[in-house]
Amino acid sequence: MKKINKYCFSIYLFCILVSGQLFSERLILNPKQILDITSGELYQAQILIEDKIIIKIDKDLSKQYRNTKLLDLKELTLLPGLMDSHVHLIGNTKLKGYESIGESSYLSTIYGVDNAKKTLLAGFTTVRNVGAGNYSDVALKQSIDRNLIPGPTMLVSGPALGITGGHCDSNFLPHDYEYKSQGVADGPWEVRKMVRKNRKYGANLIKFCATGGVMSKNTNVNNRQYTFEEMQAIVDEAHSHGMKVAAHAHGLEGIKTAIKAGVNSIEHASYIDDETIELAKKKGTYLSMDIYVSDFILGEGKDQGILEESLQKERIVGKIQRQNFKKSVQAKANISFGTDAGIFPHGKNAMQFKYMVEWGMTPLQAIQSSTINAADLFGLINTGNISEGFEADIIGTKGNPLEDITVLEDVTFVMKDGIIYKQ
**Is residue 293 a contact point for ligand ARG (CB under 6 A)?**
yes
**Is residue 317 a contact point for ligand ARG (CB under 6 A)?**
yes
Among 50, 230, 290, 393, interactor with ligand ARG by CB under 6 A: 290
Among 181, 304, 321, 328, interactor with ligand ARG by CB under 6 A: 321
**Is residue 90 a contact point for ligand ARG (CB under 6 A)?**
no
Beta carbon nearer to ligand ARG, 181 or 294: 294
In the region spanning residues 227 to 286, those forming contacts with ligand ARG, defined by CB under 6 A, are 268
- For the question of residue 36 being annotated catalytic, the response is no
Among 230, 314, 391, 393, interactor with ligand ARG by CB under 6 A: 314
Render the burial of 190-224: b for 16+ CB within 10 Å, e for the rest.
ebbebbebbbeeebbbbbbbbbbbbbbbebebbeb
What is the closest distance, in whole angstroms, from the C-beta atom of residue 400 to ligand ARG in the complex? Answer: 29
**DSSP-assigned states of every residue in 137-168:** HHHHHHHHHTTSS---EEEE--SPBB-TTSTT
**Is residue 96 a contact point for ligand ARG (CB under 6 A)?**
no
Beta carbon nearer to ligand ARG, 257 or 387: 257
Indicate the DSSP class of residue 292: S
* H or E element that contains 27: strand 26-35
- According to DSSP, the residues that pair with 94 across neighbouring strands are none
* Marked catalytic residue, from 84, 137, 169, 340: 340
What is the closest distance, in whole angstroms, from the C-beta atom of residue 317 to ligand ARG in the complex? Answer: 5
**# residues contacting ligand ARG (CB under 6 A):** 12
Beta carbon nearer to ligand ARG, 68 or 220: 220
**Is residue 356 a contact point for ligand ARG (CB under 6 A)?**
no
**Is residue 340 a contact point for ligand ARG (CB under 6 A)?**
yes
What is the closest distance, in whole angstroms, from the C-beta atom of residue 152 to ligand ARG in the complex? Answer: 20
What is the closest distance, in whole angstroms, from the C-beta atom of residue 143 to ligand ARG in the complex? Answer: 25
Indicate the DSSP class of residue 62: H
**DSSP-assigned states of every residue in 31-57:** EEEEE-TTT--EE--EEEEETTEEEEE
* H or E element that contains 213: none
Beta carbon nearer to ligand ARG, 157 or 321: 321
What is the closest distance, in whole angstroms, from the C-beta atom of residue 156 to ligand ARG in the complex? Answer: 17
- For the question of residue 340 being annotated catalytic, the response is yes
**Is residue 168 a contact point for ligand ARG (CB under 6 A)?**
no
Render the burial of 36-75: b for 16+ CB within 10 Å, e for the rest.
bbeeeebeebbbbbbbbbbbbbeeebeeebeeeeebebee
Q: Which residues contact 176 (CB under 8 A, 6 or more apart)?
A: none
What is the closest distance, in whole angstroms, from the C-beta atom of residue 390 to ligand ARG in the complex? Answer: 31
* Marked catalytic residue, from 52, 207, 313, 416: 207
What is the closest distance, in whole angstroms, from the C-beta atom of residue 44 to ligand ARG in the complex? Answer: 39
**Is residue 213 a contact point for ligand ARG (CB under 6 A)?**
yes
Cα–Cα distance, 111 to 104 (Å, whole number)? 11
| DSSP β-ladder status, 53-58 and 46-50 | antiparallel
Would you tell me how many other CB atoms lie within 10 Å of the CB of residue 274?
12
Sign of torsion over alpha carbons 396, 397, 402, 408: negative
* H or E element that contains 228: helix 228-240
**Is residue 214 a contact point for ligand ARG (CB under 6 A)?**
yes
In the region spanning residues 215 to 234, those forming contacts with ligand ARG, defined by CB under 6 A, are 215
**Is residue 112 a contact point for ligand ARG (CB under 6 A)?**
no
Given the rule CB under 6 A, which residues bind ligand ARG?
Answer: 213-215, 268, 290, 293-294, 314, 317-318, 321, 340
Catalytic residues: 207, 340
